[in-house]
C-alpha cells in the first residue's frame, strides 16, 4: 500500500513537470523542467524495481542538467557529450537488460537525448508525442498506472504545443 502511494506521488510530480515542460517556448526551459521530471521518474521506477527505466531516467536527469546549462548560455552542446550519453545509455541498457520490455526505455531515452541535442524545440515535442504512446504500453506492463494518465496528458500537451509553436523557428 505504501509502495503504491510513493509510486503514485512521484509519478504525479514527474507528470506535472513533464507536462509543463512541453508548453515552454524555449528549448533550455523545456530541458530544465524535464530534469525534475526525470528525477521523479527515476525514484518512481526504483521503487517499482524497474532498473532499466530508473537508470535511463537517472542518466536523463544528468543530461538535462548539462544540456540546460549550455543551451541557456546559448552555447552549442559538444557533440562528444551526445556521443557520450548515447554510449552510456547503451552500456546501462546492456547491464540492465531484462527482456524485450527493457529495450523500450533505452530506445526512447536515446531519442530524447538526440532531440534535446538538436537546435529546434519542436523535435523534443515530436519525440515526446511519439514516445508517450509507447510509454502507455510500457507503464501498463510494469504497473506504473498513474503515469499512464500522464502519458495521455503528454499526448495532449505535445499536440497543443506543436500547434501553438508551429510557426516558431526554434
Give me 163's grid cell.
Answer: 500547434
Give me 170's grid cell.
Answer: 526554434
Dump the DSSP string for the chain: -HHHHHHHHHHHHHHHHHHHHHT-SSHHHHHHHHHHHHHHHHHHHHHHT-HHHHHHHHHHHHHHHHHHHHHHTT-PPPHHHHHHHHHHHHHHHHHH--SGGGHHHHHHHHHHHHHHHSS-HHHHHHHHHHHHHHHHHHHHHHT-HHHHHHHHHHHHHHHHHHHHTTT---
pLDDT tens per residue across span 70-116 = 999 989 999 999 999 999 999 999 998 989 998 998 999 999 999 99
pTM (predicted TM-score): 0.86
pLDDT band at 168 (very low <50, low <70, confident <90, very high): low
Report the pLDDT averaged over residues 106-135: 92
Amino acid at each position: 500500500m505504501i509502495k503504491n502511494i510513493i509510486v503514485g506521488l512521484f509519478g504525479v510530480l514527474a507528470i506535472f513537470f513533464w507536462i509543463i515542460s512541453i508548453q515552454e517556448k524555449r528549448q533550455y526551459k523545456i530541458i530544465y523542467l524535464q530534469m525534475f521530471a526525470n528525477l521523479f521518474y527515476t525514484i518512481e521506477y526504483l521503487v517499482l524495481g524497474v532498473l532499466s527505466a530508473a537508470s535511463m531516467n537517472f542518466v536523463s536527469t544528468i543530461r538535462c542538467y548539462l544540456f540546460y546549462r549550455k543551451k541557456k548560455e546559448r552555447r552549442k552542446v559538444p557533440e562528444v557529450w551526445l556521443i557520450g550519453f548515447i554510449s552510456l545509455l547503451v552500456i546501462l541498457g546492456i547491464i540492465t537488460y531484462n527482456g524485450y520490455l527493457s529495450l523500450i526505455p533505452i530506445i526512447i531515452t536515446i531519442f530524447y537525448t538526440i532531440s534535446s541535442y538538436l537546435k529546434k524545440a519542436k523535435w523534443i515535442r515530436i519525440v515526446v508525442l511519439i514516445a508517450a504512446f509507447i510509454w502507455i504500453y510500457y507503464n501498463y506492463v510494469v504497473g506504473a498506472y498513474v503515469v499512464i494518465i500522464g502519458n495521455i496528458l503528454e499526448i495532449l500537451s505535445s499536440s497543443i504545443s506543436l500547434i501553438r509553436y508551429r510557426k516558431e523557428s526554434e
